[in-house]
Structure 1
Amino acid sequence: MSAAGIASALVLTVSSSATASGFHDSTAFIPQPAPAIPAAGGWHAGIPPIATPWTGEVGPGNALPEYPRPQLTRPKWQNLNGVWEFGKAAAGEAVPTGKTLGERVLVPYPIESALSGIQRHEDRMWYRRTFTVPAGWKVGSGNRLQLHFGAVDYDAKVFVNGTQVTTHRGGYDGFDVDVTDALTAGGPQELIVWAEDLTDATGQPIGKQRRTSDRGIFYQGSSGIWRTVWMEPVPAASITSLTLTPNVPAGNLKIKVNTSAGTGLRVRAAARGGGSVTGAADTDLTLPMPHAKLWSPDNPYLYDLSVELLRGNKTVDLVGSYFGMRQIGTAPGADGKLRITLNGKILFNMANLDQGFWPDGLYTAPTDDALKWDLQQDKALGFNAVRKHIKVEPDRWYYWADKLGLLVWQDMPAANTGPIPADWRAQFEAELHEMVREHQSWTSIVAWVPFNEGWGEWSKEDTGRIADEVKAQDPARLVNAHSGVNCCNSHGDSGRGDVIDFHQYLGPATPAPSGNRVAIDGEHGGFGLKVSNHMWFGDGQAYEMEPDSPTLTAKYVANQEAVITSAKFCGISAAIYTQITDVEAELNGFFTYDRQVAKMDLRQVRAINQKIIKQADGSGANVPQPPAGTPGLTGIAFWPLDGSYGSLTPVGNAPFVEGHNGQGVDLNGGFLDAGKPVLNTASDYSAAAWVKLDKADGAFQTVVGQDGASNSDFYLQYSGADQRFAMSFAGVRALAPVKPEVGRWYHLVGVRDTVKGELRLYVDGRLAGTASACMPQAAPTGNTVIGRGKYGGNQVDFLDGTVDQVHLYDRALSADEISQLYASGE
C-alpha cells in the first residue's frame, strides 16, 4: 500500500480547523508561512537512494516555510531558509566576508542529505547569504532584530556584515542572537555561518549519527544547519520564552514569563476559555483554570494563551501561545503494583520507537506534512505514546504531538557507546538541561530519559545524580534515568528516577515495579521484512526477519499479546515497540524507510494495540499459589554421580572423575540427558548442583537446564557475558556478585518463585542474586539436561568442568533449606 493509500485508509488527519484546540483559530498570533527569500541560483537537489512521497515537493521556494516556534508566536517574521552559498572550510581560515562561495546548499537540510544539494560530509563548512530587513520593522527605533537558529550541528559561529555576533556549541538546541548593532544603515546585510561537526570523532552528543553508517543500528550523520533559520523584530524589552506547568489537582496553570531586559515590567496572561492573571515578569504566577477540559490522547484539548508584557499600562510586547491541562504521575493499581497515571487515572503507555531519520533529508523531514505524517501513523495504528529515540526534533514535531494527542518519552541524544571522556561530561550535562529547559512546556512530553543502554555512561553514581538533577529541574514529569538498564554498556541500576526500564529483543521485557519506581519495557520487538526497491542499501536486517507480511503481522500480534501478560503479571506501565519505520539497514519498521509501503496488516496492528491499552489497566492478575511440592532435601530427582549415571544418559564424553563428594562427572563437550522433562516449569522449582569450572572466560556454560521449544526453560549457569554464576531465563539473569575461581568447587542453587515473580541464585548456601521473572512459564516440552543449554533451537553453552550431587525440586527451596543442603555436602 502506498503512503497516500495508507493515509486515506487509516490516518487521523488534522485540519487547520481542528476542534481539539482553538490554536489555529487564533489568527492574531499565528504568522502565515513566510515567502521565499531570493538567493543565488545554481542549487540542484541530489538523488537519494530511495525517495519519500514528499521529496519532489522540496525546492528553493518552499524549504520548510512554516512558522517554526508554535509556543511563542508573533505576526512579524521572515524565514531565511532557502538557497545559501556554501563552501568547505579549514580550521583557522579567515571569514569569507564579501566573497562568493562556490557551491549552493538548500537550508535547512543537513549537508549529507540529498535535499541539501551537497550530499557529502565536511568536518568544517561555511554558509553565506544576504538578507534585507523589511522597512516596516523599524529596527533601531525601539525594536531589535533577533536572528534565530533552530539547530546547527555542532559548533557554530555567526557573522553579520563581518562582525562575529555569537558562537554556539550543541547540535540539538536552538540559539538566538540580537544582530541590531551589526547591521548597516540599509540594503542587503551579509550573513555568514561557520560550522564544525566532527561527529563520532569527539565526545559530543550525536544520537545515532556516525560519519559512516555501519549498516546496522547507527546511521549517516547530519552536519551543519538542520533546522529553520529565521528573524523577527522584537521590542528592546521583550518576551523570550514561557514556562508553562499545568497543575490539574489544583486547577491552575503555573506560568513564568521570561523576558530579555528591563525593570518594573509586568505581564498579563489570559487563556481562552480559562482564567487570567497579572503580575511581575520573570516570576512564577498562577493562572486559574477551574473546571478545565483535560488533555489526553483520547481528547487532546488545547487552550489558547495570550501574553502581554506591560510597562505601566502600556503594552510593549504581545505573544500568542497554547497549553494543555494534564498531569502525569504514578499510583498503585488494584494489584498493588505501582503504575503510570495520566490525570489521576492509570493509563498504559503503548508506544512506538521514533528515530526521526529520512532518506531524503536525513535529520530533517522534507516537509511539515512529512514531519506530521509519522505521528499520524502512530495514532492510526492505535498507539498513544512515542519514544523520541536519542534525538531532539524541531518544535513543530512536538506541536503535532500535542495536537494529535501522543505521550512523548524524550531521550537525551547519546554520545558514543563508550564512556563519555571526562572533558566532555560537563557539555553533555549542559545540553541535557538545556533540552529540558527548551521543552519544559510541551504538553505531550511526559518523561525525560538521560541515558540509553549505558551509551556514554561513565558511572552508576553519576547517572543517579543526573536523574535527581533533572527531576529537580522538572518535578512535573517522570525521569527515566536509564532506558535499557539491563543491557549493553550499562553500569547497573542507580536506583534513581521514577522508572525501571528493561530492553529485550524480541521481548517484551518484564521488569517489575519496585519501591517508588514504575516499570516499563523500554524497547522490544524488532521483527523485520525486506521490501524490494524500498531499502536504503538494497538489503538489511532486523532482530528477526520474516518471509512475508502475513507472517510479520502474526509475529507482531503474538508479541503484543505477551505485553498484556507482562502488564498483568509483572506490572509494566509502558511498552515501546521498535519501530515506526525502517532506518537505513534496519528493516524492522511498520513502514519502509521511504514511507511508501506498509509492511503489516495495519488493522490488526491497531486492534491489538487498543486491546493492550484497554486491558493493561492495573487490575493485574491473580498469581496462582503453587502446590506444596515434595518435602525434604532429596527432591524429586537426585543424581549422586558416584560411579553411576542413574536415570541419566551420557551423550559424548562424560567420564567419572574425583568429585566433591565421592565421584563426579567431567564434562567438556559431553552432557547428561534425563530423557524427559523432570521439572514442571509452569510452577515453582529449584535446581542444585556442585560444580568446578575448568575455565571462566567469555563463554556461557550451563550446569543444569531443561530444553524448551527454542531456548532452555531455565539455565543454572556460568554467564560468560558477565563472568559470574547465574540463575537465568533467556534475557534475565540473577547474577552472583563476583567472578568464580577456576578449579574450585561451588555449590549452586537456582530457585524459580512464581509468587514473588523472581529468580534467585544461591552460591555456597548464601543468597547471591535475584532477578525479576514475573511472567508465567509454559508447561515443559523438552528434556532436563546436565552440562549444556539450548538457545535459538541449538545446543549451546556446554559445561567445561566437573559436576556432582545434582538435586531437582518441585518447589521453591527456602533459604534455610539451601543452607542445610550446602552444609550437608550433597
Structure 2
Amino acid sequence: MTTTSIPRPEYPRPQFVRDKWLNLNGAWQFEIDHGRSGKDRGLHTEDASMGQSIIVPFCPESALSGIGNTDFMDAVWYRRTIDIPADWAGERVLLHFGAVDYHAEVWVNGKSFGTHRGGYTAFTFDITDALQAGSNTVTVYAEDDLRSGLQPRGKQSGLYHSHGCDYTRTTGIWQTVWLECVPQSYISSFKIFPDPENECVHLEAKLNGQTKGLQLVCEASYKGRPAGSAAVRLGAMSARVTIPVSEVHLWQVGAPELYDLKLQLVSTEGGQAVDTAMSYFGLRSVQLDGMAFRINGKSVFQRLVLDQGFYPDGIYTAPTDEALKRDIELSLEVGFNGARLHEKMFEPRFLYWADQLGYIVWGEHANWGLNISNAQGLAQFLPEWIEGVERDFNHPSLIGWCPFNETWDDGRTGSRQDNEVLRIVYETTKAIDPTRPVIDTSGNFHVITDIFDVHDYDQNPETFKARYESLRTGEGEVNASFPNRQKYTEGLPYFVSEYGGIWWNPGQTDGKAWGYGNRPTSEEEFIARYDGLTTALLEHPKMFGFCYTQLYDIEQEVNGLYTYDRKPKFDPAIIRAINTKRAAIED
C-alpha cells in the first residue's frame, strides 16, 4: 500500500515528531465477537484468520471502514502483518495506538503486550523483543460496553437508534495505528511551560534508557532563525531546562506566532546526537483577573461554539486531516474564535490545526454514560483523564480544562453525583497543570471550580437577558440554574457555556429532527433570535465568554449553523457580524 493510498497518512503526533515511523492504517482483518469468545477460539494466535476486512482507523460503525455495522458490538478483533524496515535493526520499536474504544489488549506474534482501558487516549507498547525476521503479526482485541455505566461514552447512543443529542456509536480502533523507531536511550515525553513575561520557555523531559554521558540539548527557532538554546547534563530519568528566547513573538488569538523546537540527546564526549525529536511551541499565558479571562495580559472575550467532533462518513474519525482543519475554518468564517470540544477528547491533529490557526479550545472528557455516584466512577474516569491532560498539555490553543459536562444524577438508581469524584478530579488536574483554569463540571452540578458556568437554552432574548441582570448589578442572587444544588460564589468569573441550540431544518420531512425549544418560522426569525441571545451576552460587562450550540448538525440534531455535511444554512457574513460585535469586557 503506497503512502498516498493509506487513509489518514499524516504524522499523528505533530508536537513530538521523529523521522523513523511507519503508518499502519489501511486494510486489517476484522471480526465481530458478540460472545466475547475470541480468546477461547484462538483469535489472538499467530496463525488465526478473521472473516472480514476493515479499513483502519475508521470504526466499524462508519461507512469509511467498509463495515457499516451500527448495532451494538460487545467486542471486536483486528489482525495484520507488518514488516520492520531493515534500517531499524538494533533500535527499539514502539507500537502506538491513537485511540481504541474501549478496553484493548494487544498481541505481537502471539505474545500479549498488555491492555489499555479508555476509549479516547493514546497508548504505546515497546514490541522490540517480540519481533522476528520477516513478517510479524499484530492482533488487537477491544471490548466495548457503553451501557454498563462503567465507561465514559460521550455522545454515543445508549439506545439502538440515535436520539436527541446522542448519535451513532464508535467501537474499537478510531485513530491512527503506527510504528516508531527509537534508539536505546530516548526522550519519552516532555512538557513545555511558556513564560512570555520572562522571555523564555521552560521544559521538563522524561527519558528512557541509559542517560549517563548524555546531555539534553534544546534549540528554538522562529521562521528559520535561531531564537534560543540551552543544554543540561543528564544524571536521572528526567531533566529540566530553561530556554531564553532572543526575540519575543506572542501566540495570540487569531495571530498564532509559533516557534520550532528541536530536542536532542547528545553524547557529552563525542558530541554525536543519539536521539532527535522535533516540536513547536507558542509563547502564551492565561490568567483569570476578576471577571476577565486574560491571554497574554489582554482580556479576550471567548466567542466559542460547541464542536462535538462527528463526521457523516467517519463518525468519530475525520475522513481527512483537511476535514479537521476545515471545521476550524468554518467556525472562524462565522466569527467564532474558539470552541468547547464537547463530550470527547479530540485527536491531536485537531489541536495542531487550532495551534496553527490561532483558535482557542477547552479540553473535555466524554463523561456521559459513566456512573459517578460512587468511588468506582473515579477509578474508571481519572486514569484516562490524566492521560488526556498529559497528552494535550503542550498545545497553546488549549486554554482551559473541563473534565465533566452536566453531571446528572444516575437515572437508573436516582443516586446523586459523588461530590468527592469531582473534587478529586479537579485537584488532580490542577496538580498536573497549574497553568490553566479548570471547570469541574460544565453546567451542573458544581463542587469546586475556577469559573462558574451555566447552560441556558431559553429561546426568548428578553427573559434570557433579564436572568443575568443580578450579575451585572450585584443586587439579588446570581443565576445558578440549579440553586438547590449549586451556588454562585461572589467574584468567580462567569459565562454561559451553552446557549441557543436554535433548530432550523427547512425541507426535512422525516419527522426525526430534534433541537431546543420552539422552531423559528422563518430565517428572519432565526437571525433575530440569534442576534438577541448573543448580543445580550456580548454586552454584559461581567461575562467573559459564551458558547453557542452548535457548529453543525449531527444526525437528527439540527441546531447547527452548518448542515452535517458542512454546508452553511445562513449567509456566514450575517452570523459573523453578530458574533464579532465588540464585547463589553474586552480591553
User: What's the counterpart of residue 86 of structure 1?
Assistant: 30
Amino acid at match of 1:376: E
Deviation, 1:517, is 2.6
The one of 96, 105, 110 aligned to 2:59 = 110
Counterpart Cα distance in 2 of 1:290 and 1:517: 37
Q: Which residue of 1 aligns with 2:136?
A: 189
Offset at residue 165 of structure 1 (A):
1.7
Q: Does the aligned pair in 2 maintain the 1:379–1:404 contact within 8 Å?
A: no
Q: How has the CA–CA distance of structure 1 residues 213 and 327 changed in structure 2, closer, same or farther, with 3 Å as cutoff?
A: farther
Residue aligning to 1:302: 258
Per-residue deviation, residues 704-737 of structure 1 (Å, max 9, x unmatched): xxxxxxxxxxxxxxxxxxxxxxxxxxxxxxxxxx
2:274 paired residue number: 316
Residue 584 of structure 1 and its aligned partner are, at CA, apart by 1.6
Task: Give the distance between the partners of 2:112 and 2:424, measured in 1 at CA.
Answer: 37
Q: Identity rate of aligned residues, in percent?
A: 36
CA contact (8 A) 2:266 2:274 kept: yes
Choose the corresponding residue for 2:332, options 379, 382, 387. 379
Q: Among 23, 32, 35, which residue is 2:2 paired with?
A: 35
Q: Helix, strand or coil for the counterpart of 1:464?
A: helix
The Cα shift of 1:187 comes to 1.5
| RMSD (CA atoms) | 2.1
Q: Answer yes or no: is 1:553 the counterpart of 2:500.
A: no
| C-alpha distance in 1 between matches for 2:374 and 2:166 | 20
Aligned partner of residue 556 in structure 1, secondary structure? helix
| Distance in 1, Cα, partners of 2:489 & 2:251 | 29
Superposed counterparts of 1:583-662, under 5 Å: 583-595=554-566, 597-611=567-581, 614-618=582-586
CA contact (8 A) 1:152 1:195 kept: yes
Q: Which residue of the other structure, out of 137, 147, 154, is the alignment partner of 1:207?
A: 154
1:726 maps to which residue? none
Shift of 1:235: 0.3
1:98-497 correspondence to structure 2 within 5 Å = 98-120=47-69, 121-137=72-88, 139=89, 141=90, 143-184=91-132, 186-211=133-158, 212-264=160-212, 265-273=214-222, 274-280=227-233, 282-312=238-268, 313-332=271-290, 338-416=291-369, 418-455=371-408, 458-485=417-444, 490=445, 493-494=446-447, 496-497=448-449
Shift in Å at residue 240 of structure 1?
Answer: 1.6
Deviation at 1:219, TM superposition (A): 1.4
Counterpart code for 2:528: A
Q: Deviations over 1:236-287 (max 9, x none)?
A: 1111222111112222111112222223232110110321110145222111
Corresponding residue SS for 2:279: strand
Q: What one-letter code is carried by the residue in structure 1 that aligns with 2:77?
A: W
Tell me the SS of whatever aligns to 1:436: helix
Q: Distance in 2 between matches of 1:542 and 1:497?
A: 27
Provide the secondary structure at the position in 1 that maps to 2:256: coil
CA distance in 2, matches of 1:467, 1:228: 30
Inter-partner Cα distance in structure 1 for 2:434 and 2:45:
47
The Cα of 1:463 is off from its aligned counterpart by: 1.9
Instruction: Name the aligned partner's letter for residue 456 of structure 2.
Output: Q
CA distance in structure 2 between the aligned counterparts of 1:363 and 1:270, rounded to whole angstroms:
36
Q: TM-score, normalised by structure 2?
A: 0.88
Q: Could you tell me how far apart the structure 2 residues matched to 1:543 and 1:392 are?
A: 28
Question: Does the 8 Å CA contact 1:328/1:341 hold for their aligned counterparts?
Answer: yes
Q: Mark the CA change 1:465 to 1:169 in structure 2 (over 3 Å): closer, same or farther.
A: closer
- Aligned partners of 2:58 and 2:173 also within 8 Å: yes
2:491 maps to 1:521: no
Identify if the C-alpha distance between structure 1 residues 270 and 450 changes in structure 2 by more than 3 Å, giving closer, same or farther: same
Gaps of 5+ in 1: 1-33, 37-59, 333-337, 620-826
SS at match of 1:283: strand
How many residues get paired? 540
Write the letter of the residue equivalent to 1:201. Answer: S
Q: Distance in 2 between matches of 1:298 and 1:218?
A: 32
Matched, 1:500 2:452: yes
Give the letter for the 1:502 counterpart.
V
Change (3 A) 1:445 1:592: same
Matched residue SS, 2:137: strand
- Whichever residue aligns with residue 331 of structure 1, its letter is D
SS of the residue corresponding to residue 353 of structure 2 reads: helix
The farther-off stretch of 90-99 and 293-302 is 90-99
Q: Give, as a single letter, the amino acid of the residue that structure 1 aligns with 2:7.
A: A
The one-letter code sitting in structure 1 at the alignment partner of 2:63 is: A
Give the secondary-structure state (helix, strand or coil) at the position aligned to 2:264.
strand
Distance 1:529 1:470 in 2: 38
Are residues 1:67 and 2:14 paired?
no
Q: Deviations over 1:465-501 (max 9, x none)?
A: 321221121110011112102xxxx3xx32x231001
Could you give the per-residue CA deviations for residues 419-461 of structure 1, whole angstroms, max 9, x where no partner exists? 3554332121111121111111111001000221114772234
Distance in 2 between residues matched to 1:76 and 1:235, nearest whole Å: 10
> Which residue identity does 2:534 align to in structure 1?
Q
- CA distance, structure 2, for counterparts of residue 176 and residue 477 of structure 1: 27
Distance 2:52 2:510 in 1: 26
- SS of 1:67's equivalent in the other structure is coil
Name the SS of the counterpart of 1:219 in structure 2. coil
Match of 1:573 among 529, 535, 544: 544
TM-score normalised by L of structure 1: 0.63
Change (3 A) 1:536 1:128: farther
Letter in 1 for 2:152: P
Q: CA deviation at 1:345?
A: 1.2
Is 2:513 aligned against 1:539?
A: yes
Q: 1:604 Cα deviation (Å)?
A: 1.2
- Call closer, same or farther: CA 1:532–1:370 in 2, change over 3 Å: farther
Q: Deviations over 1:207-257 (max 9, x none)?
A: 111243441011121000000001121101111222111112222111112
Q: Distance in 1 between matches of 2:452 and 2:246?
A: 35
User: Which has more radius of gyration?
Assistant: 1
**1:616-650 Cα shifts (integer Å, max 9, x gaps):** 3357xxxxxxxxxxxxxxxxxxxxxxxxxxxxxxx
Q: Summarize the Cα distance change of 1:372–1:126 in structure 2 as closer, same or farther, 3 Å threshold.
A: same
**Runs of 4+, deviation exceeding 6 Å:** none
